[in-house]
Amino acid sequence: MTESHAALSSIWKGASALLFDLDGVLTPTAVVHEQAWQELFDGYLAEAGHAGADGTGGYQESDYFDFIDGKPRFNGVRDFLASRGITLPEGPTDDAPDSPTVQGLGNRKNLIFNEIVSTRGVEPYAGSVRFIHAALERGLKLAVVSSSRNAPAVLKAAGLDGYFPVVVDGQVAAAVGLPGKPDPATFDYAAQLLEVSAAECIVVEDAVSGVQAGSAGNFRAVIGVDRGAGRQTLLDAGATFVVDDLNDLL
């Protein structure tokens, strides 16, 4: 029996529920976000005359990691524009997607993201789907806990919505007034909705902030899924153990 199998075997015994992050754990939606940002800024820069015919000054793949990744949507808009020496009015939070404002561009990005998800779909990680089935066979309850405000749409597009009776996403957190990760509040809230104690829940995360949230709470364990953060980084953040893919636990 491998170390991961042995660790999971001991954890299963007292577990009643699994609390999954979405992006990077169940679905590779970071790729969709990257596509949406590129479509947004390619379109805006062309409209505003900031991108030459040869592409000089246009959006580059590295821009996502340099100015956008991991930030709230509107901060990503501001920081990318600042990198090109562009300053736009802030605009109201519900500004129209075609408005040349920070809020308008952020709202346009969200529309593009949702359009990609609805028209092109999202393919879940195969190993994660097998892991979900294994958990259900053991009678565990399942929930998704995501910072994204698009979690229900992504789950539906990936064909996973039927597995999760509880979804605590960014919209739910805002409505209830819950702080986001690395605070464990959203995971605690999901456990309450599943009607199980935190001590009976296993948190499954790929992000450092999510692992920190699981470690900060009174959860049974935190499974770290290394999609690029690094095994030791996730262990240092508080993961009980780390795998490259949830299929490794089966």
Whole-angstrom CA distances from 94 to 60, 98, 106, 110, 151 are: 28, 11, 10, 12, 20
Asked if 232 contacts 111 with a C-beta cutoff of 8 angstroms, the reply is: no
Tokens of 250: 């089966």
CA distance 44 to 39: 9
| 23 catalytic residue (yes or no) | yes
Asked if 208 contacts 181 with a C-beta cutoff of 8 angstroms, the reply is: no
Q: Which of 23, 95, 169, 188 is catalytic?
A: 23
CA distance 250 to 245: 10
| 169 catalytic residue (yes or no) | no
Radius of gyration of the chain (CA): 19
Asked if 248 contacts 134 with a C-beta cutoff of 8 angstroms, the reply is: no
CA distance 247 to 83: 40
Single out the residue of 243, 250, 204, 247 nearest to residue 227, CA to CA. Answer: 243
CA distance 138 to 179: 32
Tokens of 42: 């390619």
Distance of CA 57 to the CA centre of its chain: 29
Active site residues: 21, 23
